[in-house]
Amino acid sequence: MTVASDPPLRTAKRPSRLFKNLMAKIASIPMILTALVVFVGGTTWTVVYSFTGSRMLPKTNWVGLDQYERLWNSDRWIISIKNLGIYGGCSMILTLVLGFCLAACLDRKIRFESAFRTIFLYPFALSFVVTGLAWQWILNPEFGLQSVVRGWGWETFTFNPINDPDTVIFGLLIAGLWQGTGLIMCIMLAGLRGIDDDIWNAAKVDGIGTVKTYVVVIIPMMRPVFITALVLIASGIIKLYDLVVAQTGGGPGLASEVPAKYVIEFMFRAQNLGQGFAASTMMLLSVVIILIPWAYLEFGGRKNG
């Protein structure tokens, strides 16, 4: 579907073409195996077995759509989806806005730029387990932020997103943003650096203000950067698991459950593989719906480079 649109210069009719292609093919065997056996094979297997009543071990006792029916009747799944929606929406918007604003600030020819950049990016080097534990400690109501602010004299200050079902998802969000915004900021910064000075000069000549220039001129020019950032954020959101396990364990109650955790728990803890597979198939479906059009545009239909 893609070869035709690529300029055939590099592989154009040369006498030794077969051999060269052969080497490239041999070199690509690990990639082909991974793509076909693990990604295509593995997901197909999971999808197929989601139509079975497999319990602890995979069995081919077909039950049709029963697993899906049960899935969508399950409170826990609905809560998980809602949580992911809230977390995902907030995380997507805030990461983009915060990432872009920080990048724009750093791009204002400021002093200590590299120090600030280092500070914003270092959490990205830490794992979600580490992130979750650190924030769990800071948000601990007895010792953490809440008790400290109360100690300052604000006795009624209440900020307990680890133990309050209504706000727990924002506790996760604070930690998730802390870990992930630095990367997006770096990508945005690189995008800003890639914009020609002439654009800025032209805007200045036209008398357009700085903020307006960003909104009207720069952001539209950075469309590909935003798309990359969006895809990176989105793929991270769907995989959200370690952070929840480390920071809240899905609690209090079911208040911070997420789909990825549902899948693991049903596959292994509840020993109901079919149910876990059905849930992971739903996750897969949502990824496909979001990503296929994008992947096609980015890698399929267009010339690269």
Partner 1 sequence: MKLSTKLLAATAMISASAASAVELEVTHWWTSGGEAAAVSKFADAWNATGNTWLDGAIAGSGGTARPIIISRIIGGDPMGATQMNHGRQAEELIEAGMMLDLSDVAEAGGWKDIVNPSALLDSCTLDGKIFCVPVNIHSGQWIWLSHAAYETAGVPVPTDWNEFVASAPKLQAAGILPLAMGQQGWQQNLAFGAITIAVAGTEAWREVTVNKNADVARGPEYTAVFEAVANARELARGSNVQDWNQATNMVITGTAGAQLMGDWAQGEFAVAEQVEGVDYSCLPGLGLNEVLDTGGDAFYFPLNDDPEITAAQKELAALLISPEVQVSFNLAKGSLPVRGDIDMSSANGCMQKGLGILADGGILPSGDQALSADTQTQIEDLMAQFWSGDMAAADAQESYAELIANAD
Partner 2 sequence: MADITMTGPRGPKPKKVFSRANIFLYGTLIMVSMYYLLPLYVMVVTSLKGMPEIRMGNVFGPPMEITFEPWVKAWSQACTGINCDGLSRGFGNSVRILIPSLLLSVTIASINGYALSNWKFKGSEVFFTILIIGAFIPYQTMLYPIVILLREIGLMGSIGGLVLVHTIFGMPILTLLFRNYFASIPEELFKAARVDGAGFWQIYFQIMLPMALPIFVVAIILQVTGIWNDFLFGVIYTKPSTYPMTVQLNNIVNSVQGIKEYNVNMAATLLTGLVPLIIYFASGKLFVRGIAAGAVKG
Residue list 155-184, contact with partner 1 (CB under 8 A): 160, 162-163, 165
According to the binding rule CB under 8 A, does residue 233 interact with partner 2? Answer: no
Q: Which stretch binds partner 2 (CB under 8 A): 73-81, 88-96, 106-114, 159-167?
A: 106-114
DSSP code, position 62: B
Tell me which of partner 2, partner 1, none is bound by residue 221, counting a contact when its beta carbon lies within the kind-specific cut-off of 5 to 8 angstroms.
none
Phi, psi (rounded to 5 degrees) for 203:
-65, -40
Binding partner at 158 among partner 1, partner 2, none, C-beta below 5 to 8 Å by kind:
none
Q: Does 38 bind partner 1 (CB under 8 A)?
A: no
Of 75 and 289, nearer to partner 2 (C-beta) is 289
Q: Does residue 289 bind partner 2 (CB under 8 A)?
A: no
99 touches 229 (CB < 8 A): yes
Distances (CA, A) of 295 to 2, 149, 189: 12, 47, 24
Hey, which residues between 137 and 196 contact partner 2 (CB under 8 A)? Answer: 137-138, 140, 143-145, 147-148, 151, 178, 182-183, 186-187, 189-194
Q: Which residues contact 269 (CB under 8 A, 6 or more apart)?
A: none
Give the number of residues in contact with partner 1, rule: CB under 8 A: 29
| Interaction of residue 110 with partner 2, rule CB under 8 A | yes
Distance from C-alpha of 179 to C-alpha of 132, rounded to nearest angstrom: 10
270 forms part of the interface with partner 2 (CB under 8 A): no
For partner 1, the closer CB: 165 or 219: 165
Region 76-105 residues binding partner 1, contact defined as CB under 8 A: 76, 79
Of these partners, partner 2, partner 1, none, which one is at the site of residue 4 (CB under 5 to 8 Å by kind)? none
184 CA to centre of own chain: 11
Which is closer to partner 1, CB of 232 or CB of 254?
254
**For residue 167, what is the DSSP state?**
T
| The pair of three-digit structure tokens given for residue 218, joined into one six-digit string | 């720069």
Burial tier of 178 (Cβ tally within 10 Å: 0-12, 13-18, 19+): middle
- CA-based nearest residue to 279, from 76, 86, 116: 76
Q: How far are the Cα atoms of 43, 238, 282, 284 from residue 51, in angstroms, in the given order?
A: 13, 23, 12, 15
The residue from 71, 79, 102, 169 that contacts partner 2 (CB under 8 A) is 102
Interface of this chain with partner 1, residues 186 to 245, rule: CB under 8 A: none
Contact 2, 300 (CB under 8 A): yes
Contact residues for partner 1, defined by CB under 8 A: 55-57, 74-76, 79, 141-142, 160, 162-163, 165, 249, 251-255, 264-272, 275
